[in-house]
Structure 1
Amino acid sequence: MRMLLRGAAALAAVVSVASLTSGAAAQPRPEKPAGTTRAAAAQIPPGVTAGVAVYDRHAGAFTEQVNESAQFRSASVVKLLLALDFLWDRGPDYTIPAADRARLEPMLRSSNDAAANYYWSTYGGSAIIDRMAHPDRLDLRDTQEPPAGYPGYWGYTAVSARDTVAIYRYILEKAPAPVRTFIMDNLRASTRCASDKFDQHFGIAGAFDRPWAVKQGWAGKYADGTCGPQGAAGAARAATGEGAGEAERPAARGAAELDLSRPALHSTGTVGADDRSIVAVLTTHPVGTSYGKAYTDIGRLTRSLNVPGGVRPAGTWFGTWSEFVNVRKGPTTGHDRITQLPAGVEVLVGCQVRGQVVNVPPYSNDWWAYLPQYKGYISNIYISSPDNRLPNVPECAE
């Protein structure tokens, strides 16, 4: 027998999904006749509040709409508006000064908060939101500036799934070509590790093979994101800046109807060749939810969606246990560490191979799982499955 979760209750919480995914592109459903309703494919995990919109640019129609007008605090999704506001009417060639390029690129690729703070404070704060939501610009219906009493909290901007789709449609269909190219190229170059060391390749980035482009957002108290070869401190902390503009603080009573208390996790962007589908998945989670649990839940929700042009990665999804599990370049503890997993997160396993024996007394295991989305290996001892060798997972080719 191999190492299982400590305690039956914890095991039930991270039990393997073990659902094989195909490599075939998802096909759009026929459009519904006028005056009828159609159930969405979206499967929202228990306890999660979600706003979802998927827009097929080839068909010119939505394939998913669930609570699409509901307002969520934007977290770092608002950085799209900060970038667009700065780039607005910058002249015929839209030249970006070197100092601004050095801020904008990490803001879009790695969700850098210092850059967002700079643009928010330099160009008018909440006035940026008013300008961008105005009918003369993007004509956003649900987007509003942060509530009274939170002038520096850019991440408390209210957004909706349908407005997020509208932002991407402007970038892809109406923005000047240099603006479109700059923003989308940076979103396509999204780094797995964000500037604050949170693993930001959840949702869209985990549910579909490339090509995709993403701008993610997270805010609230989470167990550390544990991303990067240096690992993380391991203490629960606030997602400072991300979704706040500075360290999170409790919402004042009556400040706004916007939910500022539950942790938020958002995945937005485009999927497929020629950015065929625009996807917006905005979520909040019960207070006390771990980052790995929220990461897993938004992944399951995103994988359930009808996303035309999206190709599902091949492999099997499994839950993991333990904190700060190392992903290594090879199937031994002597191989270099690539990153660490958020505690309890689901991972896609492509194949497995025998390697070094790993001991977690009283158990041991010499099988290792290859994670194609990380391009590395973890010991099977940390995967929630009853046997050393994972079921329905092939051995890795030589």
Structure 2
Amino acid sequence: MRTKRWAAVAAAVPLLIATPALAEAPPKVPAGTTAGYVVFDRVAGKIVAHRLAHRAFRSASVIKILIAIDFLERTAKPTVRDLATLKVMLRSSDDDAASALWDRGGKGKIVTRMARKLGLADTSPPPAAKPGFWGYTSLSAYDVARTYRYLMDRADAKVRDLVIGHLRQATPCGTDGFDQYFGIPRALPKPWAVKQGWSGFGAVPPVRCSPTGAGGPLITPQSQARLPLVPDLGRPVLHTTGLVGKGDRLIFVLLTAHPAGGRWNDSVKRTTTLARDLYRSVSM
């Protein structure tokens, strides 16, 4: 029903899907890993690579982009404190900052507002039983690509410049101590602007990224086990999304779910390799 509800809206600002012209073969997804991706060429005005584009994943920290857009579009004059909260949320993926803005915006109502406004057919709020779990939002690679298109083509310049400006300065470390330079930052050439997402690897990274900061705990696989409406419960997810290339030519979205109990380092390696091979497969 969700797809039908937003189908008419989504059709109003379509992402044109075309058969990609490939420089190399499409990336091979490892057994046990689920990957959905969309690469949109802003110069050509079409999708040049896609796989499981409408498959729902739990958002993890990728939802922080929608939280930021919603807050900025509803707040005429953000305070200095507001701007500092947005900065650490977007650059260093700070969970406490996201939770503060999530609560102020009405929790799942943020997702509902943004899905309607942007025409996100595959995006829905967390289950009613877990309203504070913003990382349990469901979304697809297609919808994340639409979100970046909205920022670049339709959003007010002040909103675009603030959000994308922070994503251009994404820090190597999240404030929870995890290394967030997997995927795009490690595999693709600069320039890029990125928003990463990870969930299901526990609260403590195997090797703490440096420099470090104070952040909220990640959602563990144990805490996910009772929510059957959330995609890939019990499986860790790792997402790498953003703008790539001169003039922000490519919108690059890669969402991945890994085998249950999968280790951080192995999942990072798979995701980074997929990002590299996907980028190489796209002819520019």
User: TM-score range, shorter-chain basis?
Assistant: 0.7 to 0.9
Q: Which one of the candidate residues 119, 128, 145 is aligned to 2:110?
A: 128
Q: How far apart, in 1, do the equivalents of 2:51 and 2:99 lie?
A: 32
User: Is 1:111 paired with 2:84?
Assistant: no
Deviation at 1:209, TM superposition (A): 1.6
| Structure of greater relative contact order (alpha carbons < 8 Å, 6+ residues apart) | 2
Does the C-alpha gap of structure 1 residues 266 and 170 become closer, same or farther in structure 2, counting only changes over 3 Å? same
Does the C-alpha gap of structure 1 residues 229 and 128 become closer, same or farther in structure 2, counting only changes over 3 Å? closer
Contact 2:167–2:195, Cα closer than 8 Å, also in 1: yes
What is the aligned partner in structure 1 of residue 14 from structure 2? none
Q: Where is the strand percentage greater, Structure 1 or Structure 2?
A: 1
**Which range moves more in the overlay, 220-229 or 80-89?**
220-229
Q: How far apart, in 2, do the equivalents of 1:247 and 1:262 lie?
A: 7
Q: How far apart, in 2, do the equivalents of 1:84 and 1:252 lie?
A: 30
Deviation at 1:251, TM superposition (A): 2.6
Does the C-alpha gap of structure 1 residues 101 and 284 become closer, same or farther in structure 2, counting only changes over 3 Å? same
Structure whose alpha-carbon radius of gyration is higher: 1
Q: How far apart, in 2, do the equivalents of 1:68 and 1:295 lie?
A: 21
What is the aligned partner in structure 1 of residue 81 from structure 2? 99
Does the C-alpha gap of structure 1 residues 87 and 138 become closer, same or farther in structure 2, counting only changes over 3 Å? same
What's the secondary structure of 1:53's corresponding residue?
strand
1:236-315 map, 5 Å: 241-242=217-218, 244=219, 249-252=223-226, 255-256=228-229, 258-305=231-278, 306-307=281-282
User: Is 1:161 paired with 2:135?
Assistant: no
Deviation at 1:47, TM superposition (A): 1.6
Q: Where is the helix percentage greater, Structure 1 or Structure 2?
A: 2
Q: How far apart, in 1, do the equivalents of 2:60 and 2:159 lie?
A: 22
Deviation at 1:125, TM superposition (A): 0.4
Q: Which one of the candidate residues 153, 161, 171 is aligned to 1:191?
A: 171
Letter aligned with residue 123 of structure 1: G
Q: How far apart, in 1, do the equivalents of 2:209 and 2:132 lie?
A: 27
Deviations 1:153-201 (A, max 9, x none): 0000001000000000000111111111101110000000110010000
Give the % identical residues.
Answer: 43
Q: How far apart, in 2, do the equivalents of 1:308 and 1:185 lie?
A: 27
Q: How far apart, in 1, do the equivalents of 2:124 and 2:194 lie?
A: 22
What is the aligned partner in structure 2 of residue 141 from structure 1? 121
User: Is 1:67 paired with 2:52?
Assistant: yes
Deviation at 1:42, TM superposition (A): 2.5
Letter aligned with residue 261 of structure 1: G
Letter aligned with residue 159 of structure 2: V
Deviations 1:324-354 (A, max 9, x none): xxxxxxxxxxxxxxxxxxxxxxxxxxxxxxx
Q: How far apart, in 2, do the equivalents of 1:247 and 1:152 lie?
A: 17
Q: How far apart, in 2, do the equivalents of 1:249 and 1:257 lie?
A: 12
Provide the aligned C-alpha RMSD in A.
Answer: 2.3
Letter aligned with residue 149 of structure 1: A
Deviation at 1:51, TM superposition (A): 0.7
**Structure 2: runs of 5 or more not aligned:** 1-17
Deviation at 1:224, TM superposition (A): 2.3
**Structure 1: runs of 5 or more not aligned:** 1-30, 34-38, 232-238, 310-398
- Number of residue pairs aligned between Structure 1 and Structure 2: 259
Contact 2:138–2:230, Cα closer than 8 Å, also in 1: no
What's the secondary structure of 1:213's corresponding residue?
strand
Deviation at 1:210, TM superposition (A): 1.1
Contact 1:40–1:64, Cα closer than 8 Å, also in 2: no
Deviations 1:258-317 (A, max 9, x none): 2221001000001001110001110111122111111100011011113466xxxxxxxx
User: Is 1:86 paired with 2:71?
Assistant: yes
Query: Which TM-score applies when normalising by structure 2?
Result: 0.85
